[in-house]
Amino acid sequence: PANGVNGENQVQAHDEQEGCSTPLVLVTMGSDSDLPVLKAGLDILKEFGVPYALDITSAHRTPKYMMRVADEAAGKGIKVIIAAAGGAAHLPGMLSSETPLPVIGVPVKATHLDGMDSLLSIVQMPRGVPTATVGINNSTNAALLAIRILGSFVPSYQDKMKKYQLEMEEAVIEKGNKLRM
């Protein structure tokens, strides 16, 4: 079912594994040109079976729509917002200024400044308006952080996170073993 946060701009919520169609994470971006950067994070959300909604909410091109999305997200059952933006990346901070939900910003490398502009635009928030910031183009960590937040009150997500961490550890040890052989 089409189950996005705000109707017509929304694509389907992804819920393959959990059988729940209410999105828990809103993944939004300033432009569809940011979508390739978000792919890795979306793959993580799918792997963990987290239902999410996708949207485009530009702080500069659709400011009124962006504020409506921020206003309504919590009431629609969203628990965490992931927001990607490049350049003058005001989207995560502006969403954060309007919603009580945790917002995770993904700085996108979109201009000649190699993503440093996006990173600094997102990370340097004023006191009182916290906005989590992951590395440039690192949507993987944004998704993992969102799942850790969900895992604080959904035990199944925390169990999957523990398994993910264990498998990561085993994979690195295995690589080391091969090098030492």
Residues of the shown chain interacting with ligand RP5 in the complex, contacts defined by CB under 6 A? 29-31, 33-34, 58, 85-87, 108, 110
d(Cα 136, Cα 138) in Å, to the nearest integer?
5
Q: CB 124 → ligand RP5: shortest distance, Å?
A: 17
d(Cα 100, Cα 14) in Å, to the nearest integer?
23
CB 23 within 8 A of CB 82: no
CB 140 within 8 A of CB 44: yes
Query: Is the Cβ of residue 3 or residue 133 nearer to ligand RP5 in the bound state?
Result: 133
DSSP 25: E
Q: Which residues of 34-55 are buried (b: 16+ CB within 10 A; e: fewer)?
A: beebbeebbebbbebbbbbbbb
Q: CB 82 → ligand RP5: shortest distance, Å?
A: 13
| Residue 72 dihedral angles phi and psi, to the nearest 5° | -100, -15
Give residues with Cβ within 8 angstroms of 129, minimum separation 6: 93, 96, 97
Query: Is the Cβ of residue 123 or residue 154 nearer to ligand RP5 in the bound state?
Result: 123
